[in-house]
Amino acid sequence: MELELTFRIILEDPPAGVDYGLQKGGGNDYEVVQKQRSKSGELKFEFSARVKEGKDGNPVLLGPFTQGPPHERFAYLDIGTYAGQTDTPWSRRLKIPFRDITWDVVKKASKRVLETHVSGKGKDGSPSCATVKPFASWKVV
C-alpha cells in the first residue's frame, strides 16, 4: 500500500536577487519547477511524494522530487544557474534530507503537511548549499 504525503520547504532569508527552484527528476533528466527569485523574507516550495514500506520495514519516499538511495532520500533546491538564472555567479544546490520520517510521522501527516525551515544564507552571506546542517527535521502542520 502506498500513501501520499505533502511536503513544504520554507527557505528563510535567502540572499536577494537569486533564483531558486525545486528539482523534479534526477541525473541529467530533470526540470526546475516552482522557480522563484528571492527578494526579502522567505520562499516556499510545496510538493508531494509517495511513501511505501521498504525492505527493512521503514518508510521509503518515492516520486520525482525524491533523490538518493532509499534509506537516505532528500530533495534538491536548485540555485542560480542550476535554477536557470543567467545573470548570477551562483551555481549551487541545497540538499534537504528526509530524515526522521517514521511510520508514526507518516500516520500523523496523513491529510496534513510536513514542513521544514532551512536557512537561505551561509555563514558568509552567500546562498546556502550542500546538505542542510543543522537540520531541524520535518514537523506536521
Q: Cα separations (Å) of 21 from 69, 102, 105?
A: 22, 27, 26
* E-strand stretches of 27-66: 29-37, 42-53, 59-62
Name the DSSP class of 67: B
Across the range 112-136, mean pLDDT stands at: 94
Number of helices followed by number of strands (H, E) in the chain? 1, 10
pLDDT one-digit tens code per residue, 88-118: 999 999 999 998 899 999 999 988 999 999 9
Each residue's pLDDT tens digit, 37-88? 999 999 999 999 999 999 999 999 999 999 999 989 999 999 999 999 999 9
- pLDDT value of position 1: 65
Task: Pinpoint the alpha helices (H) of 1-141.
Answer: 103-109
Look at residue 70 and give its three-state secondary structure.
helix
